[in-house]
């Protein structure tokens, strides 16, 4: 795989957990815990359990299942049958994972593998989230009928691999790699747009759609989410968005 500042076109998947921030709280939220407790004392309810206290109670379950989520997604990817060598990178971003895939031939496998990945995720992840939600319910830690679930966005675009200096330079000369580029930001924004379409868990951009061969079985199973193109921050031109009618 090219290193340094060289750019390549990747298929990029962003797998995200819906309602995760509400259940786990954010960094800025944790800073509000003392204020929340103080307000409860002033209102005469010093023992009242607030939202952020419940986040603290949920933290062990959220930490356990977030780790299992990472492991489950990677296991699903590892089970895929690949006909040629596929280079891929993962980027972990809290509750989300980015997979960037690149075929050494820049061929059909760069499109086929992401779609096969989508199919497997769609089949196997619902049971995982069912168990996660059930554990929260058993511990009386569910909130407002909100369920943890997943959504996936798929895009095709340019990324560059860069090197990150090691943390302990005096102990190791090894360097870590990561990917940067507008395609990462775009696929993240597209994933958020999935919330606008009721019941839709998979959103595919027009850029990825155009890479799917028209004689492919996958091509016929796609449908437009909107007849109009959608403006996406970071892109000069709006894109059409698609999803799969059937991934069986």
pLDDT tens across the length of the chain (248 residues)? 443 446 788 899 999 999 898 888 754 444 445 555 555 556 665 555 677 778 888 999 999 999 999 999 999 999 987 766 777 888 887 788 999 888 655 567 778 889 899 999 999 999 999 999 999 999 999 987 889 999 999 999 888 877 766 655 454 455 466 777 888 888 888 888 888 888 889 999 999 998 888 887 778 888 898 878 888 877 778 888 999 887 66
Q: Which phi and psi angles does 177 have, rounded to 5°?
A: -110, 150
| Positive or negative: CA dihedral 200, 211, 110, 240 | negative
Q: Cα(240)–Cα(206) distance, rounded to whole angstroms?
A: 5
**8 A C-beta contact, residue 20 and residue 93:** no
Beta-ladder partners of 204: 154, 242
Q: 189-222 in b/e burial notation, b at 16+ Cβ within 10 A?
A: bbbebbeeeeeebbbbbbbbbeebeeeeebeeeb
- Give the pTM: 0.80
Cα–chain center distance at 196? 17
Classify domain 7-244 by CATH architecture: 2-Layer Sandwich (3.30)
**8 A C-beta contact, residue 147 and residue 129:** yes
Q: 125-153 in b/e burial notation, b at 16+ Cβ within 10 A?
A: beebbeebbeebeeeebbeeeeebbbbbb
Q: What per-residue confidence (pLDDT) applies to 198?
A: 81
The tokens for 51 are 């939202």
Q: Cα(1)–Cα(105) distance, rounded to whole angstroms?
A: 11
Q: Cα(77)–Cα(203) distance, rounded to whole angstroms?
A: 19
- Domain ranges (residues) in the chain: 7-244
| Pairing mode of beta strands 7-18, 149-164 | antiparallel
């Amino acid at each position: 795989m090219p290193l340094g500042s060289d750019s390549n076109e990747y298929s990029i998947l962003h797998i995200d957990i819906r309602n995760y921030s509400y259940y786990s709280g954010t960094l800025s939220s944790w800073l509000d815990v003392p204020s929340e407790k103080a307000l409860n004392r002033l209102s005469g309810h010093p023992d009242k359990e607030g939202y952020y206290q419940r986040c603290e109670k949920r933290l062990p379950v959220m930490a356990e299942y977030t780790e299992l989520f990472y492991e489950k997604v990677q296991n699903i990817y590892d089970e895929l049958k690949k006909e040629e060598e596929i280079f891929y990178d993962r980027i972990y971003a809290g509750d989300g994972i980015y997979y960037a895939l690149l075929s050494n031939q820049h061929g059909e496998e760069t499109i086929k593998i992401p779609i096969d990945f989508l199919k497997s995720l769609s089949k196997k992840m619902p049971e995982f989230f069912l168990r996660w939600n059930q554990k929260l319910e058993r511990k009386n830690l569910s909130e407002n009928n909100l369920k943890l679930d997943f959504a996936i966005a798929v895009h095709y675009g340019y990324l560059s691999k860069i090197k990150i200096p090691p943390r302990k330079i005096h102990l190791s000369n090894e360097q870590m790699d990561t990917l940067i580029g507008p395609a990462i930001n775009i696929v993240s924004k597209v994933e958020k747009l999935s919330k606008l379409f009721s019941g839709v868990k998979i959103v595919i951009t027009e850029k990825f759609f155009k890479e799917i061969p028209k004689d492919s079985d996958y091509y016929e199973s796609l449908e437009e989410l909107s007849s109009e193109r959608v403006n996406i921050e970071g892109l000069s031109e709006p894109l059409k968005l698609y999803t799969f009618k059937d991934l069986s």
